[in-house]
Amino acid sequence: MKAVIFTLLGIAALIGGFFAWFFMGYLKVPELIIPTDASEKEKIEMVDSWFEELHEKNKFNGVVLLGKEGEALLAKGYGYADAKKEKPLTERSSLRLASVSKQFTAAGILLLQEQGKLTVDDLVADHLEGLPYETVKIRHLLNQTSGIPDVYMDLAQENEEEISLLTNEIAVKLLIEESAEAVASPNEEYEYSNTNYILLARIIEVVSGRSFEA
């Protein structure tokens, strides 16, 4: 019996090793070697060629921006913006960044503070009329300590037949109409929440008078 178990374990180890070797080989990317004496133009051309090679080998699909002192040296899309490979990616393609966009939302708030248009200690309700969470500050949204329930996606799904496009304005309107009970007092608990950042994005729009995208 022990011999059979050890044999099975050995086979499993061999199979596991094979798959590990296969995937490591698949994930391995060509090395990018740039001579130290290459000119800036040559370096950018080498990087461009490297990304082209990665794409051809199905190892990269995306948009790249390389900049120096505020100037774009390389801004280019490699691959496609859709799974059907019908829409080429360009430097102007709109991509769903998911929660990576939270850092840009936070930066937008801090930019408005730098411009003197708000402070992170402002009450959120002072900028979003009708919001029931009267003691929540912008700082609490940024730090994920607002205590506001993370329900905006649930509310959107419940009202999807009436919503053609879920904007920040509509999402906040749904939150105000629902007025769900807070799960904690401000700054009492940390809880990662997409709703906090929807509220921040809407504050940016209200205070700046521009769309969040702009």
Instruction: Examine the pLDDT at 35 and tell me if it is beyond 80.
Output: yes
- Residue 89 lies inside a defined structural domain of this protein: yes
Nearest CA to 52 out of 89, 93, 95, 92 is that of 89
128 shares its domain with 84: no
Instruction: Examine the pLDDT at 5 and tell me if it is beyond 80.
Output: no
Residue 63 tokens read as: 């948009």
**Across residues 1-17, what is the average pLDDT?**
56
CB 190 within 8 A of CB 145: yes
Mean pLDDT across the chain: 88
How many Å apart are CA 193 and CA 84, to the nearest integer? Answer: 33
Nearest CA to 61 out of 85, 28, 32 is that of 85
153 shares its domain with 64: no
Backbone dihedral angles phi then psi of residue 105, each to the nearest 5 degrees: -65, -45
Residue 121 tokens read as: 């200690």
Residue 13 tokens read as: 């180890």
- Residue 213 lies inside a defined structural domain of this protein: no
Note the maximum CA span of the chain.
76
Res 40: pLDDT: 94
Res 156: pLDDT: 83
Res 46: pLDDT: 95
65 shares its domain with 138: no
Sequence length of the chain is 214
| Residues assigned a catalytic role | 99
84 shares its domain with 150: no
- Residue 122 lies inside a defined structural domain of this protein: yes
* Angle separating helix axes 194-208 and 168-178, nearest 10 degrees: 120
Instruction: Examine the pLDDT at 27 and tell me if it is beyond 70.
Output: no
105 shares its domain with 199: yes
How many Å apart are CA 80 and CA 78, to the nearest integer? Answer: 7
Domain that holds residue 10: 2-27+36-95
Reduce the DSSP state of residue 195 to 3 states and report it. Answer: helix
Backbone dihedral angles phi then psi of residue 30, each to the nearest 5 degrees: -60, 140
Nearest CA to 138 out of 120, 125, 115 is that of 120
Higher pLDDT, 153 or 201: 201
**Across residues 45-73, what is the average pLDDT?**
94
Residue 207 tokens read as: 């205070």
The 8 Å CB, 24+ separation contacts for 3-7 are none
**Across residues 19-48, what is the average pLDDT?**
80
**Across residues 178-191, what is the average pLDDT?**
94
Number of separate domains in the chain: 2
How many Å apart are CA 106 and CA 200, to the nearest integer? Answer: 8
Res 140: pLDDT: 98
147 shares its domain with 201: yes
